[in-house]
Amino acid sequence: MIYLDYAAATPVRKEVLTAMQPYFTTIYANPSSLHHLGQEARLAVEEARSTIAVQLNCLPAEIIFTSGGTESINLALQGVTKGHIITSSIEHKAVLETCRMLQKKGYSVTYIQPNKQGLINPKDVGNAIRKNTRLISIMYANNEIGTIQPIQRIARIAKKHNILFHTDACQASPHLDLNVSKLDVDLLTLNSSKCYGPKGVGLLYLKKGVKLKPLIHGGAQEAGRRAGTENVPGIVGFSKALELAQKEKRETKRLTALRDWFISEIQRKINNVKLNGHKTKRLPGNINISFKGIDAQQLVQHLSSYGIYVSTGSACTSHEVEKSHVLENINAKEGVRISLGTSTTKRELQEVLTKLTMIVTALRKI
């Protein structure tokens, strides 16, 4: 098996699994319980919060644990929005569908178009600002084409106009700087499963002083901002995974070099291919590439038959293939997303290249 779909989900690291284990079988009490075992669980949650706060350079109280990126995004957009929203047309569906839902409720949303490389121009964001603009939400790095956005420049524009700025940083967590002071963001979303942590846990960074309306009602967990018993093993695992990921700068350099080598080899061995997204301003492990005359879904299925697991920019909904809104917005043909990770080796990619060349050649003859 050669797994090249790390942008969709990452395996849980052994160190992370080890850190989580006691909270499944030994310290399994409810962290809101007042007895000793409950307080041990509470301590684990708060230590994890503090560890993550160090990675983000924020206060522990500014972190709200959630069930994942989608919930965090919904909490950010629905929790602070009272007026006009500015976002981009290539955001994750969690942002786009939430904005569409808010539009049905009477909210106004402006969708900024990217250039052909998937970059958002900060000037376009500034030009879209209205008197009643309440929130700007632009993702840190795109989940399909890997393009890294000029978050700091957009944040400065938001701050100048006293507008809240949220960024979906789920794809950024394994490799990019998450220092919220440097990024100058008011809200930031992270997802554990994108940085070699467990699924089902995420967070929303909420800058001190920013008012938030809860999305889930019930108990007083997370300082009254997110009801529901905390996922103690998940939170502990998330903390460990993020801590390890943020320390591994060598891995970022390795994946960047491996990515660039693989792109050049694909372009050398196979003609009529196009790289989607920015050539250099992209995530270290992200490759999104279109092959002229080739159906991307079919290519993914053929690679899968050889035990090579990649994905497309498409999503399947109700058994129907939906075209990638990201690729449509940059005027690109359907593509294959190949995302590299900690286990990816050059030898594996050489094998993939051989199979990929063979499959594309065969499909073009049909």
Show me where the domains of the chain are located.
Answer: 2-9+249-365, 14-247
User: What does the pLDDT read at residue 33?
Assistant: 97
H-type alpha helices, the chain? 14-20, 22-25, 36-56, 69-80, 93-104, 122-127, 151-160, 180-183, 221-224, 232-247, 249-269, 296-305, 325-329, 346-365
User: What does the pLDDT read at residue 7?
Assistant: 97
User: What does the pLDDT read at residue 79?
Assistant: 95
Which residues on neighbouring strands pair with residue 203, listed in sequence order? Answer: 65, 190
**Residues 6 or more apart whose Cβ sits within 8 Å of residue 78:** 98, 102, 213, 215
User: What does the pLDDT read at residue 321?
Assistant: 63
User: What does the pLDDT read at residue 326?
Assistant: 97
Which residues of the chain, if any, have pLDDT below 50? 314-319
User: What does the pLDDT read at residue 81?
Assistant: 74
What are the DSSP calls for 79-142, one per residue? HH-SSEEEEETTS-HHHHHHHHHHHHTT--EEEEPP-TTSPPPHHHHHHT--TTEEEEE--SB-
User: What does the pLDDT read at residue 58?
Assistant: 98
The CATH number corresponding to 2-9+249-365 among 3.40.50.720, 3.40.50.1370, 3.90.1150.10, 3.40.50.1820 equals: 3.90.1150.10
User: What does the pLDDT read at residue 99?
Assistant: 97
Candidates 58, 170, 195, 316; catalytic one: 316
The CATH number corresponding to 14-247 among 1.10.3720.10, 3.30.420.110, 3.40.640.10, 3.40.50.1010 equals: 3.40.640.10
Q: Phi and psi at residue 58, in whole multiples of 5°? A: -135, 180
Retrieve residue 329's tokens.
């917005």
User: What does the pLDDT read at residue 313?
Assistant: 65
Please confirm, yes or no, whether 170 is among the known catalytic residues. Answer: no
